[in-house]
């Protein structure tokens, strides 16, 4: 059974584009399933000027048999959360927690889905499993946390801290051409512009591996990867058509020889 970790609550003045929300314990008579809760939370935010780009919602069990919901959502622009809280209180008489943890969508998605394999996602949700996660889940938070740890220690401890950070980076793998080819194929990306647009979307979510791959390769190599991915996908069909055409030519030639004889 999962313990409920709601994290520290956000300050009332906080303004974000990514929110991690926990409803615990959940009243299943009001929200029988994940999508019901998700729709209510989406509506609570869209009463303002922002629109929800995508979301992910999970449900977990308490040790006493009760349930709770976790949900992460990404807005198209930053917005305060108090309006959402008031909407849920006034329309559903529930209180939810808006966590101060997880400053980007990718890290929050991993937290939401870690215990629930039946989580629900919005339509056209980005595929976080299409390739490996970023080297850092959030650059700004990493700098803050590392700075706090290192500044609180003596100089020698600070050197150890920096060494550990370098060691962690060295161990993490970069995307391979095969990884990116799988992204291209699964998302039906046909042009360089489409690939760049998707990479930028992922960067905004905190996933930078695809951007790094593109920037470290010459444009011709990326274009070759696009062309090769789709050529390989259709190669078998093209070969079968070629074989069929050759057989048809052979049959026609055989018929002509038979008539001449």
How far apart are alpha carbons 129 and 85 in whole angstroms?
31
The encoded tokens of residue 173 equal: 């793998």
- Considering the domain architecture, whether residues 91 and 185 belong to the same structural domain is answered as no
At residue 8, the pLDDT reads 61
pLDDT given for residue 39 in this prediction: 96
In this structure, the number of other CB atoms found within 10 A of the CB of residue 218 comes to: 8
* Phi/psi at 152 (5° precision): -80, -15
Does residue 105 share a domain with residue 203? no
pLDDT of residue 256: 67
Chosen domain end from 126, 154, 188: 126
Query: Which two structure tokens, joined as six digits, stand for 196?
Result: 């760049």
In a domain, 44, yes or no: yes
User: Does 7 reside within a domain?
Assistant: no
**Domain match, 46 and 122 both:** yes
Asked if 122 and 181 sit in the same domain, the reply is no
The 10s digit of each residue's pLDDT in 125-156 is: 887 765 444 444 445 445 434 544 544 444 44
Q: Looking at the structure, do residues 27 and 111 belong to the same domain, yes or no?
A: yes
Report yes or no on 1 lying in a domain. no
Q: Are residues 101 and 186 in the same domain?
A: no
Answer yes or no: is 196 within a domain: yes
Q: Residue 116 is encoded by which pair of tokens?
A: 């629930």
Identity of the highest mean pLDDT range in 59-73, 123-137, 244-258: 59-73
pTM > 0.85: no
Strand partners, 97: 22
In a domain, 98, yes or no: yes
- The domain boundary residue, chosen from 126, 143, 161: 126
Structure tokens at 178: 């095969």
- Comparison of pLDDT for 252 and 100, the residue scoring more: 100
Query: Residue 238: what pLDDT?
Result: 80
The total of structural domains in the chain comes to 2
Of the listed ranges 42-51, 115-124, 159-168, 227-236, the least confidently predicted one is 159-168
Cα angle 115, 121, 127; round to 5: 90
- Interior CA angle at 168 toward 167 and 170, to 5°? 65
Give the least confident one: 110-124, 125-139, 159-173, 223-237.
Answer: 159-173
Residue 134 inside a domain? The answer is no
26-49: per-residue pLDDT in tens?
999 999 999 999 999 999 999 878
Spatial distance between the Cα atoms of 38 and 8, rounded to a whole number of angstroms: 21
Question: Is 131 a domain residue?
Answer: no
DSSP letter (8 states) at residue 10 = P
Compute φ and ψ for 236, nearest 5 degrees: -65, -45
Among residues 40, 29, 207, 26, which one has the least CA distance to residue 116?
26
- Give yes or no: residues 122 and 40 share one domain: yes
Instruction: Return the higher-pLDDT residue of 126 and 251.
Output: 126
Question: What average pLDDT does the chain have?
Answer: 80
State how far the Cα of 104 lies from the Cα of 72, in Å rounded to an integer: 10
Distance CA 184, CA 199 (A): 11
User: Does residue 23 lie within any of the structural domains?
Assistant: yes
Boundary of a domain, candidates 65, 100, 126: 126
Residue 88 belongs to what domain range? 15-126
* CATH number of the domain encompassing residue 95: 3.40.1310.20
Does residue 157 surpass a pLDDT of 70?
A: no
Overall average pLDDT of the 93-99 stretch? 94
């Amino acid at each position: 059974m999962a313990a409920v970790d709601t994290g520290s609550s956000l300050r009332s003045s906080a303004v974000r584009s990514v929110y991690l929300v926990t409803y615990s314990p959940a009243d299943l008579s009001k929200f029988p399933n994940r999508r019901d809760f998700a729709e209510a939370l989406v509506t609570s935010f869209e009463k303002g000027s922002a629109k929800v780009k995508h979301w992910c919602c999970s449900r977990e069990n308490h040790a006493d048999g009760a349930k709770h919901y976790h949900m992460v959502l990404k807005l198209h622009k930053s917005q305060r959360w108090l309006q959402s809280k008031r909407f849920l209180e006034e329309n559903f008489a529930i209180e939810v927690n808006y966590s101060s943890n997880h400053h980007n969508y990718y890290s929050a998605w991993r937290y939401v889905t870690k215990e629930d394999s039946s989580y629900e996602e919005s339509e056209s949700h980005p595929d976080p499993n299409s390739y490996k996660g970023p080297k850092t889940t959030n650059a700004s938070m990493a700098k803050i946390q590392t700075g706090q740890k290192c500044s609180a220690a003596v100089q020698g401890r600070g050197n150890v801290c920096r060494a550990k950070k370098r060691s962690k980076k060295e161990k993490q793998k970069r995307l391979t051409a095969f990884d990116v080819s799988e992204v291209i194929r699964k998302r039906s990306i046909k042009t360089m512009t489409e690939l760049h647009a998707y990479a930028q979307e992922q960067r905004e979510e905190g996933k930078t591996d695809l951007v790094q791959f593109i920037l470290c390769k010459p444009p011709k190599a990326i274009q070759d990867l696009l062309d090769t991915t789709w050529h390989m996908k259709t190669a078998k069909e093209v070969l079968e058509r070629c074989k069929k055409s050759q057989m048809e030519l052979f049959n026609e030639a055989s018929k002509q020889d038979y008539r001449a004889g």
